Amino acid sequence: MKRLAVLISFLFTLVPTFAMANEQGASALDITAPSVTEHSGVFNGKRLKYQAIAGETVLKNAKGEPEAAIFSVSYIANKPGKGPRPVSFIYNGGPGSSSVWLHMGVFGPKKVVLPSDAEDDGAAPFSIVDNSQAPLDVTDLVFIDPVGTGFSRALGETEAKSFWGVSEDAKSVARFIRAWLREHNRWNSPKYIGGESYGTTRTAALVHELEGRFDDVSVNGLLLISTILDFSLDAYDPGNELVYMVALPTMAATAHYHGKAGQGVPLEEWVEQARQFALREYAPALLLGSRLDEQRQADVRAKLARFTGLTEDYLDRANLRVSYPRFNRELLREQGVSIGRLDSRFKGDEVDAVGETPETDPSFYGIDGAYTAALNHWVRDGLNFNPDREYTIIGGVSSWNWKLGENMWRQAYLNVTPYIGKAMRGNSQLRVFNAAGYYDFATPFMGAEYALDRAGVDQSRVVYKYYEAGHMMYIHHPSFDQFLEDIRQFIKAK
């Protein structure tokens, strides 16, 4: 790899902003000049030379004043071949997470390698290697860190919290994408936008911002990875029965993995049995509430025990309603361990044997150190972008505004799926890719199915893919390979 750090006289998209800011006395902007480096690699068997651009895009308000700097890393093929080359805009979720996970875990030209079988990542040095499966052979890649994450931040007199909300966040990312398209003259390129976890929520809100204007940016595909669109499926509020229904197939898959249920039955077949039970028997029983007769209650309880690996006594005392934190603590209680939320393959030691829920999530502390080291090493050393600031991995935002629209006096729950349905009705070539891990309790796969089955989403243009892993399915090596092949085929498809 040949590195060539180039300081250029503009600030990635809106360079005059810096001079203007100095004239106004806002010297605290401290924008770091972009770094442009040249690289080459082999991706899916195809050798490519590509340019990496690491830098900050300055967003300005209606008065022309700088209000935010959004950090991004772009990977652009030097000789892309015939026809307009696709470009994919990638981010993670949180809200408050940088794009580190998708950048250094699966999509970027460099990746950090973690143990495949749900083991702790330990301590440095970590293995950071060329990612020969990165989809650079079919699309350019732009990794975006929203305000409050990575190196991105508010500028001048602007308060960072003005960007922290479902709509506010989507508007700022849409502004970044429009600026990037102007800077790189890519208006006629096929465009894909996608994220993980809350990043899927952002994707739905973002396509609304991009396509909801007369000068809309038409999008070719949405990449939904570990999807959360309907937030009624994420709250164990009294009376909310849907959250138990959508978690049940994930519990069945987890019990199968840990040898507590479904032994001798292939995982996919076992999950399908649990899915049908959840829809056709479990959900109706929950909806009946106290009107559920004793015989039917006993029948449902027995089947629930069969799928979850929990005892009928425990399920009876839980009134047939077991939250995933309770499940994650109860399933392997006799072993003195709990299981992970992001990835229920992970097991963590507990301080005692009587806790109701896990002390912490072993599937998060099992991966965080490696990604932090990998991102800082690659961006600061490999890409020569090294500002004197911390790179905020996750947790850089607070007081998130969950309301959609300014005039909504009452919002029972957040559901951004209608944005996708509307965008598909207005764009006949918009397609959706939905990726889910069987062992993900943060965003259970049935929750995505439930949301996308509604709100006018055209099922003929939705691709569903499942992996024998958790929230970040790509840390599982076989799922990593299959996931990227699925993404590649989705982008190449008409």
CA 90 – CA 81 distance, rounded (Å): 23
Is there a contact between 143 and 492 (Cβ–Cβ < 8 Å)? no
Q: Note the pLDDT of residue 116.
A: 82
The answer to whether 282 and 304 are in contact (CB under 8 A) is: yes
Q: What is the pLDDT of residue 19?
A: 30
What burial class does residue 399 get, using C-beta atoms within 10 Å of its C-beta: 0-12 exposed, 13-18 middle, 19+ buried? exposed
Please answer whether residues 367 and 475 qualify as being in contact, where contact means their C-beta atoms are separated by less than 8 angstroms. yes
Do 246 and 275 contact (CB within 8 A), yes or no? no
Number of other CB atoms surrounding residue 28 within 10 Å: 8
DSSP code per residue over 23-80: HTT-GGG-PPPPEEEEEEEEETTEEEEEEEEEEEEEEE-TTS-EEEEEEEEEEEESS-
Tokens, residue 243: 């959250």
The confidence score (pLDDT) of residue 358 equals 86
C-alpha angle with apex 252: 250 to 256, nearest 5 degrees? 115
pTM of the model: 0.91
SS3 for 174? helix
φ and ψ of 289, to 5 deg:
60, -130
Domains (ranges, CATH) in the chain?
16-232+368-492 (3.40.50.1820), 238-365 (no CATH)
For 17-76, how does the pLDDT look when each residue is reduced to its tens digit (9 = 90+)?
333 333 332 334 588 899 999 999 999 999 999 999 999 999 999 888 999 999 999 999
- Beta-sheet pairing, 87-91 with 191-197: parallel
Give me the pLDDT at residue 82, please: 67
Rounded Cα–Cα distance for residues 468 and 355 (Å) = 28
Q: Closest Cα partner for 237 from 312, 328, 321? A: 321
- Cβ-based neighbour number of residue 188 at 10 Å: 8
10-residue averages of pLDDT along the chain (494 residues) = 35 31 39 95 96 96 92 91 87 96 97 83 85 97 97 94 96 97 96 98 97 89 98 90 97 98 98 98 96 97 98 97 96 95 92 86 76 95 96 90 72 88 96 98 97 95 98 95 98 90
Q: Are 112 and 127 in contact (CB under 8 A)?
A: yes
Predicted local distance difference test score (pLDDT) of residue 83: 73
pLDDT of residue 407: 58
